[in-house]
Amino acid sequence: MGTARAKTLARTDALAFGAYVRLLRENFYGKGRGKRLRQLSRETGIAPSVLSRGERGLQDLRQVEYIERLAPCLGVRPSVLKRVAALITPQDVEDIFVRMVPAACCG
């Protein structure tokens, strides 16, 4: 049972990190203009299918090789993205999104 719980937690963490990457890609990079998934794929050399699955938590983007390729294209330092990958939770992503939505629609 411990193994199943560990896998569930790892998937939840991968989902949270993927959601964070998507938030950066769609909203924060480029002063709100965002990037399309294929554009990020071209810039990073990471296949669009890998990025898409990663953003949905179906593939783990928290690997160092992915982080080092993603970070500069998302406008953050690799060290920052590595820390986020280790610490972020689904609640953190929800909190970021909730704070972001009023600014995007109203201000």
Q: What total number of domains does the chain contain?
A: 1
pTM confidence score? 0.73
Question: What pLDDT is attached to residue 1?
Answer: 47
The better pLDDT of the pair 28, 7 is held by: 28
Residue written as token pair 């898409």: 52
Q: Angle 48-55/2-23 helices, nearest 10 degrees?
A: 110
pLDDT of residue 91: 74
Burial (Cβ within 10 Å: 0-12, 13-18, ≥19) of residue 37? middle
- 3-state SS string over 91-106? HHHHHHHHHHHHHHHH
pLDDT digits (tens, 9 = 90+) for 19-75: 999 999 988 665 557 889 999 999 999 999 999 999 999 999 999 999 999 999 998
| Domain coverage including residue 77 | 2-106
User: Mind listing the pLDDT tens digit for each residue in 80-104?
Assistant: 898 888 877 667 767 766 766 555 5
Instruction: Provide the pLDDT for residue 54.
Output: 96
pLDDT of residue 84: 86
pLDDT (mean) for 6-19: 74
Ordered DSSP codes for 1-56 = -HHHHHHHHHHHHHHHHHHHHHHIIIIITTTTT---HHHHHHHHT--HHHHHHHHT
For position 20, which CATH number holds?
1.10.260.40
Q: Are 17 and 85 in contact (CB under 8 A)?
A: yes
